Structure 1
Amino acid sequence: MKAQIALITILTKDVPTMKNFYKDVLGFEIKSDMDNYVEFESEGARFAICNREIMTQVTGGHPSYQDEKNGQAFELAFPCDSPADVQKTFEEIVSKGATPVKAPSAMPWGQTTAFFADPDGNIHEIFSN
């Protein structure tokens, strides 16, 4: 095995809503759409959304995929070209339906960051160095 991530999959009970959010709000293009599994065009690691029940089936009913977890389980971070781009992007995605979590601000480590949530409540970051 290589110590490299080749695929990131978000598990959800509502694939259509999540698919529309990542397509319409964040601008990902759909590569493959099989109703309960959607894969997006993504430079670098592959990126997908999958129905929890499908993952339970393909793993032989493993209980981890059946549990409803509370709280944040992961974060995606999206790079921007500049602090002004962070502000512009934040305003744009919020106007399209992202839930604002924290407006852009300068962080002590030198980045400008902003946080938003997707329809399942997963909090993600946009940033510039």
Structure 2
Amino acid sequence: MKARLALVTVLTDDVATMKQFYRDVLGFAIRSEADGYVEFVNDGVRLAICTRQVMADITGGHGSFTTGKKGQAFELAFPCESAQEVERSYNDLVAKGAIPVKAPATMPWGQTTAFFADPEGNIHEIFAD
């Protein structure tokens, strides 16, 4: 095995709502779709959304795929070219339906960063160096 990520899968009980958010709010195009699963076009790491039940079925019921998440499960970070782009992007995402979490601010490590959430409360960030 190589220590390199090839796929990030977001587990959910509501693929339709999450698909709409990642497609219409974040702007990901759909690469492929099946019952309970959708994969998006993305350079680099693949991004997919899958129902917990589909994941439980394909793994033979192993693991805790059928139980809901507790707290923040993951974070996606989206780079911007400038602090001004972070501000514009944040305002655009919130206008399209992203849940505002923290408006753009200069972080102690020097980046301009803003935080928003998807329909299930997963908090993501946009940032510029």
- TM-score relative to the length of structure 2: 0.98
Cα distance, 1:35 vs structure 2: 3.2
Cα distance, 1:91 vs structure 2: 0.2
Deviation per CA, 1:35-58, whole angstroms, max 9, x where unpaired?
Answer: 310000001001100011000101
C-alpha distance in 2 between matches for 1:67 and 1:10: 14
Alignment correspondent of 2:79:
79
Runs of 4+ in 1 over 4 A off after TM superposition: none
- TM-score relative to the length of structure 1: 0.98
Query: Could you tell which deviates more after superposition, 85-94 or 56-65?
Result: 56-65
Q: Contact 1:15/1:35 (CA < 8 Å) preserved in 2? A: no
Q: Percent identity?
A: 63
Deviation per CA, 1:78-98, whole angstroms, max 9, x where unpaired?
Answer: 001100000000000100000
C-alpha distance in 2 between matches for 1:33 and 1:105: 37
Alignment correspondent of 1:16:
16
Q: Contact 1:6/1:45 (CA < 8 Å) preserved in 2? A: yes
In structure 2, stretches of 5+ residues that fail to align are none
Aligned positions of 1:37-76 closer than 5 A: 37-76=37-76
In structure 1, stretches of 5+ residues that fail to align are none
SS at the partner of 1:89?
helix
Deviation per CA, 1:54-106, whole angstroms, max 9, x where unpaired?
Answer: 00101111241012221001100000110000000000010000000000000
Alignment correspondent of 1:108:
108
Alignment correspondent of 1:6:
6
C-alpha distance in 2 between matches for 1:66 and 1:52: 5
Q: Contact 1:75/1:124 (CA < 8 Å) preserved in 2? A: yes
Alignment correspondent of 2:124:
124
- Indicate the RMSD between aligned Cα atoms, in angstroms: 0.7
**What is the aligned length?**
129
